[in-house]
Structure 1
Amino acid sequence: MSDETEPAIRVTLRDVYADVQDMKRILQDVAAKLPEHMEQTRSRLNDHEKRIRSLETRVLMAFGGFGLLTIASPFLLKVLFP
């Protein structure tokens, strides 16, 4: 009966402390590398934002041009084909 009541694995505070210290070291390494990666990511995002803005500008200009042609088409047809 004593075998069933005793725990099979015993986790002590020393084991927990060692694992927490390992995680702390890993997180410190990641935090040290993070600013470099953040700068690269920020520059890539800024480049993408510039490209998207220029594309949006071109698309809006095209829609505006087509809109003006649509509005002006009846008048142009009257001038070209009296």
Structure 2
Amino acid sequence: MEEDLKTFLRSRHVPEEDIKQMKVDKIDRRVICIMTDEERAKYIPSNGDRLAVVSFCKQREANFNKEGVLNRV
């Protein structure tokens, strides 16, 4: 799991044990984007936090993809 994702989850007050379980289960930004809401709910109880983390992950992935294109140019 990426450090920025852990920091974001902590800023949303997601319980530390849930963050640790996500790490054990290898849940990262890319995985979060393809999970169903039901699957995310197993790790992140609050609906608002789930919506926020999906938005965060999509923004980070978009930035990552842009950087990759720029590096190739």
What's the TM-score once normalised by structure 2's chain length? Answer: 0.35
Greater RCO between the two (CA within 8 Å, min separation 6)? 2
Relative to its length, the structure with more helix (as a share) is: 1
Normalised by the length of structure 1, the TM-score is: 0.32
> Which one has the largest radius of gyration?
1
